[in-house]
Amino acid sequence: MKVYRYITGKDDNAFCHRITKALNDGFDLYGDPTLAFDSELGHIVCGQVITKEVEDVDYSPSLDLSSI
């Protein structure tokens, strides 16, 4: 099964650590990152799609994809 996740967050060290952890957990970057300015909070928000091929798992809408 191929897992898709879209990680978003404030453009800061914590966001970079989340992406770095995902890469070290076997995820691959997919496409270019996105950036948007949140005028209410006053900071830039990043987004990055990551994907991962997972063996021996069948897709189900009840899967917690954040735990894979």
- The pLDDT tens digits for 10-67 are 999 999 999 999 999 999 999 999 999 999 999 999 999 999 999 999 999 999 988 8
In a domain, 47, yes or no: yes
- Provide the CATH number for the domain around residue 37: 3.30.70
Q: Using CA atoms, how far apart are residues 46 and 26, in angstroms rounded to an integer?
A: 21
What domain count does the chain have?
A: 1
Residue ranges making up the domain that contains 18: 2-55
In a domain, 30, yes or no: yes
In a domain, 45, yes or no: yes
Q: How close are the terminal C-alpha atoms of the chain, in Å? A: 11
Provide CB contacts within 8 A for 68, sequence distance 6+.
3, 52, 54, 57
In a domain, 61, yes or no: no
Give me the half-sphere count of Cα atoms (radius 13 Å) on the Cβ side of residue 19: 19
* Contact of 35 with 45, CB cutoff 8 Å: yes
pLDDT at 24: 97
